[in-house]
C-alpha cells in the first residue's frame, strides 16, 4: 500500500514543471506596447514639424497641419508594416537585427516620402500661384519655374536737368519697351521624373533616420522583455530545483520510518503478540494515509503536523506501552501556522530511538510550540539519557535532513539547535511565522 500511494503522489509536481518556459521559446513585445511607441514617435514628429512651420511663418497653417496629420497616420501604418517584417528576426543575433532594420527601413521610408510628395504637391502648386500674384513668376513651355527680374539701368544714364526722379507715377508712364527690359531666372527646373525622384529621396532620408530611431527603440523593448522572460525562467527553474530538493529530502524520511516500523511489527509477530501487531498495522495505515495525502513540497498546518506526530507516537506506543509517554503543547492561535510537512518526524524518531529504546523506565517526549517576536519556535524534547557518543553520527543524519529542508524552504532565515540539557535532550526550531491570509481571517473570527 505505501509504495503505491507514493507513486500516485509524485506526479503532482508535473504541472509545475510544465509551467516553466523553455529556453528557446520565442518572446515578443506586446502589440499594444509596439503601437504606443509608434504613435509616440510620429506624434513627436508631427509636433516638431508643426512648430517649425509656425516659426517659419508659412501660410495656410491649418491646411498644412491637416495634410501633415494624414502623412503621420500613413507613417504609423507603414511603421506597423516594418514591425511585422522585423518580427521575423526577433530570435536572431543583434547584428542580424540591425542589418535587417537598415535594409528594410529604406523602402518604407521611400513609401512615406512618396505619400508626403503626393499629399503636398497640390498645396505646392497653390503656393506658387499665390507667390506669382505678387512676383513675376511664370512657367515656360518646358515647365521650368521662372522669375522675371527687371534689368538695372546703365550707370552713366544720369538724369537730365528738368527731369523728375523716377517714382511710381513715372513708372506707370514708362513705355512697354522699358518695362520689358528684364531677365528670366530659373527658380525650379521642370518637374521631370528624375527631379521628382530626387525630391522624394531627399524627403525619404529624413524619414529613414526616423524609422531607424524607432527600430532602435523596438530592439530595446524586445531586449527588455527577453531579459524579463529569462529572469522568470530562471526563477521557475530555481523553484523547480528547490521543489525537487524538498521532495527528495521529504521522501528520505518515509523509508527510514517504514524500516523501523516493519522491524517492530516483525518483533511483535515473532513474540506472538497478534493484538498489538494488528493495532500497529492499523496505526501505520492511518499514518501513511495522513502523511502521503499532501504534496511533499507544500506546507501544512502546524496542527496537522502535531496530529501526524501523535499518530506516529501511537505506533511506537505499541512497541513501548510501559515506557513511552507523550505531551503536546500547541496554543490555539498557532494551530493555523504553516510549516513544511513531516518536518518534526526525524526529531521525534530520534527521541524514540535514543531516549525511549535504550532505557527501561518511563520517558516523556514533549512537542511544544510558541511565538517569539513574530517567529515560530517549536521544541522536541525528552527526559531520556541524552545522546550517547557511539550513536551521535546516526543522530546527526536526521538533524541534517531537517536543516536542509528548512534552508531549502526559508533560506538562511532559520535556526536549528540541538543539545543535551539537564534531564534529557532538546531540539529547537526557529522559523518565520507564516499564515495564509484567509487563515488569518478565520483565526481572527475564531478568537472573537
User: Each residue of 80-125: pLDDT tens digit?
Assistant: 999 999 999 988 888 999 999 999 999 999 999 889 888 887 776 6
pLDDT score of 413 more than 90? no
pLDDT of residue 295: 61
Average pLDDT, the chain: 76
Out of 17-31, 56-70, 212-226, 424-438, give the one with best mean pLDDT. Answer: 212-226
pLDDT of residue 144: 63
At residue 71, does pLDDT exceed 70? yes
pLDDT of 444 > 60? The answer is no
Q: What is the DSSP string of 302-317?
A: HHHHHHHHHHHHHHHH
More confident residue, 196 or 437: 196
pTM for the predicted model, two decimal places: 0.48
Q: What is the pLDDT of residue 178?
A: 43
Q: pLDDT tens digit string along 165-213?
A: 433 433 444 444 444 566 666 555 655 566 677 778 888 888 899 999 9
In three state form, how does the secondary structure of 284-298 look? HHHHHHHHCCCCCCC
**Sequence-separated (6 or more) residues with CB below 8 Å from residue 170:** 164
Q: Taking residues 43-54, what's their average pLDDT?
A: 89
The alpha carbon of 277 is separated from its chain's Cα centroid by a whole number of angstroms, namely 56
How many Å apart are CA 414 and CA 185, to the nearest integer?
Answer: 91
Grid coordinates standing for 434? 507564516
Give the span between the Cα atoms of 369 and 328, in whole angstroms.
9
Higher pLDDT, 229 or 428: 428
Contact 284, 32 (CB under 8 A): no
Rounded CA separation 222/230 (Å): 12
- pLDDT bracket for residue 343 (50, 70, 90): confident
Domains annotated for the chain, with CATH where assigned, are 31-151+180-230 (no CATH), 320-448 (3.30.565.10)
* 81 phi/psi in degrees, rounded to 5: -60, -40
Asked if residues 100 and 89 have their Cβ atoms less than 8 Å apart, the reply is: yes
Displacement of CA 248 from its chain's centroid (Å): 29
Residue 358 pLDDT more than 60?
A: yes
Per cent of the chain over pLDDT 70 is 67
More confident residue, 447 or 201: 201
Question: Residue 254: what pLDDT?
Answer: 54
Cα torsion 254, 255, 257, 261 to 10°: value is 130
Say whether pLDDT at 146 is over 70. Answer: no
Largest CA distance in the chain: 159
Q: pLDDT, tens digit, for every residue of 288-322? A: 776 666 665 678 899 999 998 998 898 888 778 88
Alpha helices in 57-175 (DSSP H): 61-86, 94-132, 168-173
Question: What's the confidence (pLDDT) of residue 184?
Answer: 62
Q: What is the CA radius of gyration of the chain?
A: 45
CA gap 292, 159 in Å, rounded: 123
H or E element at residue 430: strand 424-432
Q: How distant, in Å, are the alpha carbons of 127, 134, 147, 194 from that of 131? A: 6, 6, 11, 25
Query: How do 415-421 and 363-372 pair as beta strands?
Result: unpaired
**Residue 130: its pLDDT value, please?**
58
Q: What is the mean pLDDT of residues 255-274?
A: 77
* In the predicted structure, residue 362 carries a pLDDT above the cut 70: yes
**Residue 326, helix vs strand vs coil:** strand
In sequence order, the 6+-apart residues with CB closer than 8 A to the CB of 442 are 336
Amino acid at each position: 500500500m505505501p509504495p503505491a500511494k507514493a507513486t500516485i503522489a509524485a506526479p503532482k509536481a508535473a504541472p509545475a514543471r510544465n509551467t516553466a518556459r523553455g529556453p528557446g521559446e520565442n518572446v515578443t513585445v506586446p502589440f499594444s506596447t509596439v503601437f504606443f511607441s509608434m504613435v509616440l514617435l510620429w506624434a513627436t514628429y508631427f509636433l516638431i514639424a508643426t512648430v517649425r512651420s509656425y516659426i517659419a511663418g508659412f501660410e495656410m497653417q491649418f491646411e498644412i497641419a491637416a495634410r501633415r496629420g494624414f502623412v503621420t497616420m500613413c507613417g504609423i501604418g507603414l511603421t506597423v508594416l516594418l514591425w511585422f517584417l522585423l518580427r521575423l528576426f526577433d530570435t536572431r543575433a543583434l547584428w542580424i537585427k540591425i542589418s535587417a532594420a537598415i535594409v528594410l527601413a529604406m523602402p518604407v521610408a521611400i513609401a512615406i516620402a512618396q505619400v508626403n510628395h503626393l499629399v503636398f504637391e497640390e498645396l505646392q502648386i497653390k503656393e506658387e500661384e499665390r507667390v506669382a500674384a505678387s512676383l513675376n513668376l511664370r512657367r515656360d513651355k518646358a515647365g521650368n519655374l521662372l522669375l522675371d527680374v527687371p534689368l538695372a539701368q546703365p550707370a552713366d544714364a544720369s538724369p537730365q536737368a528738368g527731369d523728375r526722379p523716377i517714382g511710381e507715377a513715372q513708372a506707370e508712364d514708362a513705355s512697354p519697351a522699358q518695362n520689358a527690359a528684364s531677365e528670366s531666372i530659373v527658380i525650379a527646373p521642370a518637374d521631370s521624373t528624375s527631379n521628382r525622384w530626387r525630391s522624394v529621396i531627399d524627403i525619404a532620408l529624413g524619414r529613414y533616420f526616423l524609422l531607424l530611431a524607432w527600430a532602435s527603440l523596438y530592439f530595446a523593448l524586445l531586449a527588455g522583455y527577453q531579459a524579463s522572460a529569462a529572469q522568470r525562467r530562471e526563477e521557475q527553474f530555481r523553484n523547480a530545483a528547490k521543489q525537487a530538493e524538498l521532495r527528495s529530502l521529504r521522501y528520505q524520511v518515509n523509508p527510514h520510518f517504514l524500516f523501523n516500523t516493519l522491524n517492530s511489527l516483525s518483533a511483535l509477530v515473532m513474540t506472538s503478540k497478534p493484538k498489538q501487531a494488528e493495532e500497529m498495522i492499523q496505526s501505520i495505515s492511518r499514518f501513511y494515509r495522513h502523511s502521503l495525502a499532501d504534496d511533499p513540497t507544500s506546507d501544512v498546518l502546524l496542527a496537522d503536523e502535531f496530529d501526524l506526530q501523535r499518530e506516529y507516537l501511537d505506533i511506537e506506543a505499541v512497541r513501548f506501552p510501559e515506557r513511552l509517554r507523550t505531551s503536546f503543547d500547541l496554543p490555539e492561535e498557532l494551530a493555523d501556522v504553516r510549516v513544511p510537512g513531516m518536518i518534526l518526524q526525524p526529531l521525534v524518531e530520534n527521541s524514540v530511538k535514543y531516549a525511549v529504546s535504550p532505557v527501561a523506565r518511563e520517558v516523556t517526549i514533549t512537542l511544544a510550540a510558541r511565538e517569539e517576536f513574530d517567529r515560530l519556535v517549536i521544541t522536541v524534547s525528552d527526559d531520556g539519557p541524552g545522546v550517547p557518543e557511539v550513536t551521535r553520527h546516526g543522530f546527526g543524519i536526521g538533524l541534517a535532513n531537517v536543516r536542509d529542508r528548512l534552508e531549502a524552504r526559508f533560506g538562511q532565515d532559520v535556526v536549528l539547535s540541538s543539545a543535551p540539557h539537564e534531564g534529557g535532550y532538546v531540539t529547537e526550531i526557529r522559523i518565520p511565522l507564516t499564515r495564509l491570509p484567509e487563515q488569518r481571517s478565520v483565526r481572527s473570527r475564531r478568537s472573537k
